[in-house]
């Protein structure tokens, strides 16, 4: 396989940007920027997120058995970069961001435009990132979109001309 062709082709897949959050109830709170996300079923509503296998956030999601995907607005590029770094919990905030506890125990970022909460159903432990399949059990819309919902959220291409995660 030609490495350049693989990179170019896989980078054709468009991605949104999400802050994945989780709380294992034992002091471990995760908040990490992710983009490898897709819905996978309507009934029940299922989503897949791929998580770096050696990351702290992944360990916390496995311990919690639940997670949230927080959607960002087009003007919230700074938040995406904030959560590329390890999350720091202090003074009731995660890396300076206010949050509340969702139905599943996962943190919901106050400034996100929307969020879904999921319960982990299955994990496929293949490759350097693992496939986490979650059932969507709660959904929150903090800022209703005025047009198409998929035009309202921050995407990978909004982060910069040379910013990619994929390929």
Residue selected from 19, 22, 32, 50 as contacting a copy of itself according to rule CB under 8 A? 50
Q: Which of 41, 88, 98, 101 binds a copy of itself (CB under 8 A)?
A: 41
Q: Taking the CA of residue 43 as centre, how many other CA atoms within 13 Å lie in the half-sphere pointing to its CB?
A: 0
Q: Which of helix, strand or coil describes residue 60?
A: helix
Signed CA dihedral, 94, 132, 101, 75: sign only: positive
Quickly tell me which residue has 């299955």 as its tokens.
Answer: 122
Tell me if 78 contacts a copy of itself by CB under 8 A: no
The burial of 66, by beta-carbon neighbours within 10 Å (0-12 exposed, 13-18 middle, 19 or more buried), is given as: buried
Q: How far is the CB of 29 from a copy of itself (least distance, A)?
A: 22
Which residue in the set 28, 45, 63, 65 belongs to the binding site for a copy of itself (CB under 8 A)?
45
Cβ(29)–Cβ(60) below 8 Å:
yes
Q: How far is the CB of 100 from a copy of itself (least distance, A)?
A: 16
Residues that bind a copy of itself (CB under 8 A): 1-2, 5-6, 8-16, 36-48, 50, 71, 113-116, 121-122, 124, 126-131, 133, 136-141, 144-145, 148-153, 155-157, 161, 164, 166-167
């Amino acid at each position: 396989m030609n490495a350049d062709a693989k990179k170019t082709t896989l980078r054709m897949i468009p991605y949104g940007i999400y802050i994945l959050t989780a709380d294992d109830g034992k002091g471990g709170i995760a908040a990490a920027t992710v983009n490898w996300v897709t819905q996978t079923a309507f009934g029940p509503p299922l989503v897949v997120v791929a998580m770096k296998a050696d990351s702290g956030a992944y360990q916390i999601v496995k311990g919690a058995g639940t997670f949230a995907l927080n959607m960002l607005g087009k003007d919230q590029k700074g938040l995406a970069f904030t959560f590329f770094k390890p999350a720091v919990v202090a003074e009731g905030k995660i890396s300076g961001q206010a949050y509340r506890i969702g139905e599943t125990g996962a943190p919901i970022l106050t400034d996100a435009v929307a969020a879904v909460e999921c319960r982990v159903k299955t994990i496929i432990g293949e490759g350097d990132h693992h496939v986490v399949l979650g059932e969507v059990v709660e959904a929150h819309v903090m800022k209703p979109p005025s047009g198409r919902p998929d035009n309202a959220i921050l995407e990978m291409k909004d982060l910069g001309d040379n910013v990619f995660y994929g390929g």
